[in-house]
């Protein structure tokens, strides 16, 4: 890292900031300027992270002003300073969008700890000491005295200080020691150990004071370089790991979710058998992951966008604002994926969101809309499902909706559960004269339900004229 590389990178940031105040980020001028930032990053971070002070007069490094005559850079610093930001660290692996997120902090639309900052750390209050091995050492409390243990052994033992009931006063020194051990641990390449450390540090940092939380974030960023990040995500998808290791890997991916989103989406697409695991990691990360995932929704292939929508749905109700716009997408695959993800997220107005798509031209989208309304479990909307099923011409769609209603009735014997089971029973009854495929699906759904309503309906089907329906009823009631 040279002064020339610093001036070049921050000069590009300043030009982009100046343009971004006048034009949207999609403007060609802003895009071209952002490309200059991207081109400057490899030289800037070749030797490690860059830490700068943020003053009311501009940026500085080790007490020396950076580009003091650059008015755009000075304006960015003044604005950040007015928001209480006193320092910034740009870590290896940073993406252009992470630096663009700094602009949103400056204009007040994002917090200094927003997930969108990714590999950029902003510090409020007292400026942090310089990061790196010397800085970590300077925070030492003296409870470690130059251990002679192998680094992996010492690192495992230090995890005890993050256990429930451990003395929290020791944690600052533990974080310091992990910072010192990080280079050795990265050379060892023990992915499970690194994942366990990252998960533990992230867990305790969430409730730590701001300075210790900042050092916790620095430890995580040091331990999880780009190569380690990819290795952790791919190992999480392996079928040959035990539950304890999977738990640590899941928590580690959740801890670095804003940085890991791109790798997780690619792994999700490549490993269909592991998708549940990756969804669990995004669910654990919560709303911190939404913005980073949403970046992959623009200008990507249908497959990537569909996978991303599925992962966003795993986050929870907070994802609905992103998902709802895909209900009007031109691709029926994406409309269906958005509906299924909303059904998983369960926002309070799910039924109202899904209802218009009961008239969608694509049969599988109509089925997904009905499934979403059934998942919402709102009694007022079940009558709409009945009316919809009576007018639906596609048997496959009806079967899919019957299956969804059957699951709703099976998991809930209160609320809307009995009404859903009753609706399924009506479709299994011979007097309704439904298509054979629909009646068989309804009987099968009832057979997986232990409620009194389902048992009674199945008893009445034991002598049914349809051999398939009759066999299902006899097996379920014998």
pLDDT in tens, 236-251: 988 888 888 899 999 9
pLDDT band at 218 (very low <50, low <70, confident <90, very high): confident
| pLDDT tier for residue 454 given thresholds of 50, 70 and 90 | confident
Q: Residues for the chain: how many in total?
A: 478
Distance CA 77, CA 57 (A): 7
Average pLDDT for 58-68: 86
Residue 129 has pLDDT above 60, yes or no: no
Q: What is the pLDDT of residue 176?
A: 82
Distance CA 224, CA 94 (A): 12
Confidence (pTM): 0.56
In this structure, what DSSP letter does residue 272 have? G
pLDDT digits (tens, 9 = 90+) for 269-300: 888 888 889 988 988 888 788 878 887 776 66
pLDDT per residue over 317-349, tens digit each?
Answer: 777 888 888 888 888 888 998 888 888 877 878
Where would I find the H helices in 224-274?
A: 226-236, 243-255, 257-270
- C-alpha to C-alpha distance for 233 and 430, rounded to whole angstroms: 51
Summary mean pLDDT of the chain: 81
For the chain, give the percent of residues with pLDDT over 70.
89
Phi-psi region of 93 (alpha: psi -120 to 50; beta: other; left: phi over 0): left
Residue range 182-217, pLDDT digits in tens: 888 888 889 999 999 999 888 877 766 666 677 788
d(C-alpha 405, C-alpha 203), whole Å: 38
Q: What distance lies between CA 419 and its chain's CA centroid?
A: 35
The structural domains of the chain, with segments of one domain joined by +, span 3-124, 133-223, 402-478
Residue range 53-71: mean pLDDT, rounded: 86
b/e sequence 58-68, b meaning 16+ C-beta within 10 Å: bbbbeeebbbe
Highest-pLDDT range among 130-134, 151-155, 373-377, 439-443: 439-443
Q: Model confidence over 134-168: pLDDT tens digits?
A: 344 334 344 444 445 788 888 888 888 777 666 77
């Amino acid at each position: 890292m040279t002064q020339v590389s610093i001036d070049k990178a921050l000069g590009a940031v300043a030009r982009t900031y100046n343009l971004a105040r006048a034009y949207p980020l999609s403007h060609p001028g802003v895009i071209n300027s952002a490309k200059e930032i991207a081109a400057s990053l490899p030289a800037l971070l070749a030797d490690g992270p860059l830490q700068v002070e943020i003053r009311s007069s501009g940026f500085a490094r080790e007490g020396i002003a950076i580009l003091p005559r650059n008015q755009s850079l000075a304006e960015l610093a003044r604005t950040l300073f007015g928001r209480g930001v006193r320092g910034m660290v740009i870590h290896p692996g940073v993406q252009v969008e992470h630096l663009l997120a700094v602009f949103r902090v400056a204009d007040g639309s994002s917090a200094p700890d927003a997930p969108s900052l990714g590999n950029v750390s902003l510090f409020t209050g007292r400026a942090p000491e310089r990061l790196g091995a010397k800085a970590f050492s300077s925070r030492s409390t003296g409870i470690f005295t130059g251990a002679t243990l192998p680094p992996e052994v010492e690192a495992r033992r230090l995890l005890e200080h993050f256990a429930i009931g451990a003395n929290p006063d020791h944690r600052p020194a533990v974080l310091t020691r992990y910072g010192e051990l990080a280079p050795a641990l990265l050379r060892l390449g023990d992915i499970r150990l690194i994942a366990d450390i990252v998960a533990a540090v992230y867990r305790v940092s969430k409730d730590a004071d701001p300075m210790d939380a900042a050092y916790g974030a620095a430890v995580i960023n040091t331990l999880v370089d780009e190569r380690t990040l990819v290795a952790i995500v791919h190992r999480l998808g392996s079928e040959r790991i035990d539950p304890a290791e999977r738990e640590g890997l899941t928590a580690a991916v959740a801890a670095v979710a804003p940085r890991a989103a791109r790798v997780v989406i690619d792994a999700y697409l490549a490993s269909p058998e592991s998708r549940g695991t990756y969804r669990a990691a995004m669910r654990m990360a919560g709303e911190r992951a939404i913005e980073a995932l949403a970046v992959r929704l623009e200008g990507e292939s249908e497959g990537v966008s569909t996978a991303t929508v599925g992962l966003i749905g795993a986050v929870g109700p907070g994802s609905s604002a992103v998902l709802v716009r895909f209900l009007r997408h031109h691709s029926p695959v994406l409309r269906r994926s958005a509906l299924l993800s909303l059904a998983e997220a369960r926002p309070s107005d799910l039924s109202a969101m899904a209802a218009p798509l009961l008239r969608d031209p694509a049969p599988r989208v109509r089925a997904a809309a009905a499934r979403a309304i059934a998942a919402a479990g709102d009694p007022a909307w079940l009558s709409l499902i009945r009316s919809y099923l009576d007018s639906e011409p596609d048997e496959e769609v009806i079967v899919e909706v019957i299956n969804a209603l059957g699951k709703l009735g099976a998991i809930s014997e209160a609320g809307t559960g009995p009404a859903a089971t009753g609706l399924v029973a009506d479709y299994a009854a011979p007097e309704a004269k439904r298509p054979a495929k629909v009646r068989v699906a309804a009987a099968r759904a009832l057979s997986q339900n232990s409620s009194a309503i389902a048992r009674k309906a199945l008893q009445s089907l034991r002598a049914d004229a349809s051999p398939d329906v009759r066999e299902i009823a006899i097996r379920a009631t014998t």
